[in-house]
Structure 1
Amino acid sequence: MSRKVNISVDNLPDTLRGQIHGVESAIDNESLALFTDNKDVRISIENAAHGLRAYSNTFNHYDLWGRFVRSGHKKLPLEEAPKKTIITRKISEKVDGILYDGEIKITPAVVSTRKDGEDVEYLVWPSDREEKVERALIRLASKGKIVKINFKSGIQYAVVFSMNELAQELKAVGQSMPYPAIKESLEALQGSKLSFKYSATDTKNSDIDDSFYESNMNFLSSLHFSGKKGQGGNVKCVACLNAFVHNMIDNLEYKGYYFNSAQELKRGLSRWMMLRLYHLWRYAAPGKTYHFRLLSIMEKYGSIYSTDDITENKLKALRRDMTTTMKDLIEKGAISEYSITNVKDDKTGNIIDYTYEMHPSDQFCDEILTLNKHNKRIEIQGGKRIVENAVLIDEDKIEEIVEK
């Protein structure tokens, strides 16, 4: 069982103590207990840095959106800011029978960095570096380093950790970063704004009306540090998760995956693709394959936009990137083989896209089976919790209530 943090108000940074009424850990809170329950999925593997396959959680549709910048500007001095700083992307994902369709907008953070003895302000877009730190942060939360803080202004979930703990999670998967870079990444996540509006359509039941959602929030709601100068890795941190992630934890809208299997991959596209397979390929079994179109998947990843003019050379470059990723997935043991089919223009006969078909490895099928069993158990426990909290009404009182 994961070691869960037991924390009190006195353990929190001074900037928080006067703002809160109390704190609950996964020991006290059932939603967090379910989120951090990984006793069934810690599979032993040989020569692993963690000794056990490192379990973490990934959030439905939220982690499938292209929330991170893959190309172009990632960090610029404020005075060099381009006229257009907000990045807009279309989103379209089907998860568990629900089609999420809409758009997201990413606004960069303004981060102050010490340079040549002076504070210099930069625009920082959330990119691969911030994605690594966010994944490691959720890994810590999944291990039990998460609490529910009852602020005077409302309730928030927060990850409580030291800078060294976060650095160790990154180091364990070959993503070592100096403390200043980790801190800047956290500040970029807290300062970057995510705006989205989308519809959710139940593709299994046409009688249910579409739902519409629109929100503006930061990647992290707030960020707090406490410590002394020169402490470095011993600096304590509290990272409050945004309201969207908070609700997904409460509603069990997350799935488990093996953090080290995905994050040990060196290339960003390979890591993202591995996480995507863990998230969406939940039916993986011998004989069942997974298909995708190259341009569609690269747009979801964020390498291209729907408005881009894809030249022949660009298409070849994208295919080379995906070929390398396929090799990474085979080497990692996620897939056993794959095939590519040309998609041609009906009029010209030119190749305009590619369809990929992947075959899961036996190892990946076993992992998915274990993760699915665990996910089902969490859903059952979560459903039991909802039933237990329900108000029961005697049949002979129903008429009386209706008449009122």
Structure 2
Amino acid sequence: MSKIATPGALQLVLFELEDRSQSHLIALYDLAPRYVFASRDGGRSAETAPAKGNFVASIKREFTYHGSTFHLTIQPARLTKMVNRDQVSRDDGTAQADGQTEIEYEVFPAEREQVVEHVVRRLAMDRSRLSLGGENRDKVQMRFTLYEIQRELKAVGHTLSIRDIRESLTILARSRIIIGKPAEGVKKGRGANLLESTAFPVLAIRSRPDLIGDEGGDEETHLQFNPLVSSAIRNLEFKPVSYQWLMRLKSPVSRWLYNRLSAEYDYSGAEAPGDLGAKAMTLSADEIIKNSGMNVWSRRRDTLRAVTSAVDALVEEGILTSAEKLYDKVGARIEGITYVMLPSAKFLAQVRKAQAVENANVAAMRAITGDDRRPTDFVPVTPAATVETRARRAKRLTEEPPRLPMAEAG
């Protein structure tokens, strides 16, 4: 597969990372509970067959981010598949004749899609992978093959067929996400939407009719990231997190918790550059349930057990030093749990590494634009400037300690 000669924009160069153990966190987008985990073990997408003449209702959730409440709506993707006619009832309730027929069904993105989206994001950080498209050259897009997705999944301990990868990408391209923040003084559900799109509003998989099943994985795939992700890349509003930890954590709730910790820990409260300390984070089980989008069991104790397991997984992975549980009891019955989570030195080292990359990106932007503010447009760069930027950033990362992040534009 041919690679794009130049990313064409400085921010796309700065989104690159040579360290394949890292990924990028786009905090609001990645902390929104955008997936529907239909079973206890996650896995396949949440498939639902709509009643005849009807449709599957959207899922509506609320979540908080940096003290603000956001509304989230997830609309299912509509797909088609071939089934045996004897599995489909006619209007009069009798089975149809033998053979196959095509039916429509609706499906929500689940854990499988979450993992595939993580892998797409990791591939997007490879050198010269991203480019700009659209009439105004403001749409971030990338090209890859399904085999690349499959190989990367295998490398991080996940196995999916080419057919499943194709289906997951299609679900991500068709399931619509609406994220809104209600305006002050208006009714719930009203206010400006920050995002009303799919994960990939443009997806094109070059198909070959002579190939079926798991064949055809070398076909070139083109996708476009949604406006919230594109604007985050443009504004340098992303930070490195450990891709290895994300892929090793088995529970989607554990992955959400790791992202939440990564988003919360920065240098904004440090007494001096480089001093993060070991300040604990406190979250209640109900906060985790609400904000992660996890399943709720019919028995409260089963739900709390699942939350505790997700928190303990971070201790087992060395992300947390400890997670103390404070129980809210009514008699002998546990009604709630508050978790006091103490970050490990290993986790804080990851946060420092992320801050160093953010500061190196700021310095690289300043060297090109002469401005300390966050950019509001994609900044064009020549091939020579691209090479110089990569070298300058690499040198800074090996020589300079972290400093405070870039000031907001405005």
TM > 0.5:
yes
> Is the Cα contact below 8 Å between 2:304 and 2:336 reproduced in 1?
no
Is residue 145–residue 161 contact of structure 1 (8 Å, CA) maintained in 2?
A: no
Query: Displacement, 1:248?
Result: 1.1
Alignment match of 1:382 (pick from 359, 365, 368): 365
1:326 and 2:311 are equivalent in the alignment:
yes
Q: Which residue of 1 aligns with 2:204?
A: 224
Aligned to 1:140: 123
Quote the residue 1:290 is aligned against: 281
Instruction: Answer yes or no: is the 8 Å Cα contact 1:74–1:125 preserved in 2.
Output: yes
Cross-structure match for 2:29: 62
Alpha-carbon distance between aligned partners in 2 of 1:86 and 1:135, rounded to the nearest angstrom: 24
Task: Provide structure 2 residue ranges, at least 5 long, that are not aligned to the other structure.
Answer: 40-44, 85-99, 185-190, 268-274, 374-410
CA distance in 1 between partners of 2:31 and 2:138 (Å): 26
Say which of 320, 326, 333 aligns to 1:341: 326
| 1:70–1:303 CA contact under 8 A, matched in 2 | yes
Structure 1 residue 114: deviation in Å?
A: 3.9
Residues 245-272 of structure 1 deviation map (CA, whole Å, 9 limit, x = unaligned): 1111101111111112111222222222
2:85 aligned with 1:88, yes or no? Answer: no
**Residue identity in the other structure for 1:34:** L
In the TM superposition, residue 118 of structure 1 has moved relative to its aligned partner by: 4.2
1:184-216 deviation digits (Å, cap 9, x = unpaired): 110001101111211599xxxxxxxxx954542
Tell me, yes or no, if the aligned pair for 1:269 and 1:301 is still in contact at 8 Å: yes
Aligned equivalent of 1:265, options 249, 259, 263: 249
Q: Could you tell me how far apart the structure 1 residues matched to 2:295 and 2:53 are?
A: 22
1:29 is matched with 9
* 1:287 to partner: Cα distance: 3.3
RMSD between aligned residues: 3.1
Secondary structure at the residue paired with 1:92?
strand
**Hey, what's the Cα distance between the residues in 1 that align with 2:259 and 2:120?**
15
Counterpart amino acid of residue 217 in structure 1: S
Find the counterpart in structure 1 of residue 91 from structure 2.
none
CA distance in 1, matches of 2:253, 2:230: 27
| Percent of paired sites with the same residue | 23
* Alpha-carbon distance, 1:82 to partner: 7.3
Deviations 1:260-310 (CA, angstroms, capped at 9, x unpaired): 2111222222222223222323369553212111111111111268xxxx9
Q: Which amino acid aligns with 1:257?
A: V
- The aligned residue for residue 393 of structure 1 is none
1-side partners of 2:52 and 2:72: how far apart?
24
Change (3 A) 1:368 1:360: same
Distance (whole Å) between structure 2 residues aligned to residue 293 and residue 5 of structure 1: 49
Q: For the residues of structure 1 that align with 2:221 and 2:57, how far apart are their CA atoms? A: 29
Quick one: distance in 2 between partners of 1:281 and 1:5? Answer: 39
User: Any stretches of 5+ residues in structure 1 without a counterpart?
Assistant: 9-24, 43-52, 202-210, 391-404
Moved over 6 A (4+): none
* TM-score for the superposition, normalised by structure 2: 0.73
Asked if 1:181 is matched to 2:153, the reply is: no
Q: Residues of 2 paired with 1:212 and 1:386: CA distance?
A: 31
| Inter-partner Cα distance in structure 2 for 1:373 and 1:358 | 24
Three-state SS of the structure 2 residue aligned to 1:370 is: helix
Report the Cα distance in structure 1 between the residues aligned to 2:50 and 2:240, rounded to whole angstroms. 39
Superposed displacement of residue 155, structure 1: 3.7
1:144 CA displacement = 3.3
After TM superposition, give the deviation of residue 239 of structure 1 in Å. Answer: 1.2
- Structure 1 residues 338 and 151, CA gap change in structure 2 (3 angstroms): closer
Of residues 67, 74, 77, the one that matches 1:106 is 74
Please identify which structure carries the higher strand content.
1
**Residue 3 (structure 2) aligns with:** 6
Cα distance in 2 for residues equivalent to 1:386 and 1:194: 34
CA deviation after TM superposition for structure 1 residue 130, in Å? 0.9
The 3 A distance-change label for structure 1 pair 256 and 82 is: farther
- What's the secondary structure of 1:120's corresponding residue? strand
Residue matched to 2:227: 243
Aligned positions, number: 336
For residue 260 of structure 1, what is the amino acid of its counterpart? Q
User: Aligned in 2, Cα 1:80/1:297: closer, same or farther, shift over 3 Å?
Assistant: farther
Q: Is the 8 A contact 1:60 1:254 kept in 2?
A: yes
What is the CA-CA distance between 1:337 and the residue it aligns to? 1.4
Partner SS for 1:187:
helix
Paired with 1:110 and 1:178, the residues of 2 have a C-alpha distance of 21
SS of structure 1 residue aligned to 2:121: helix
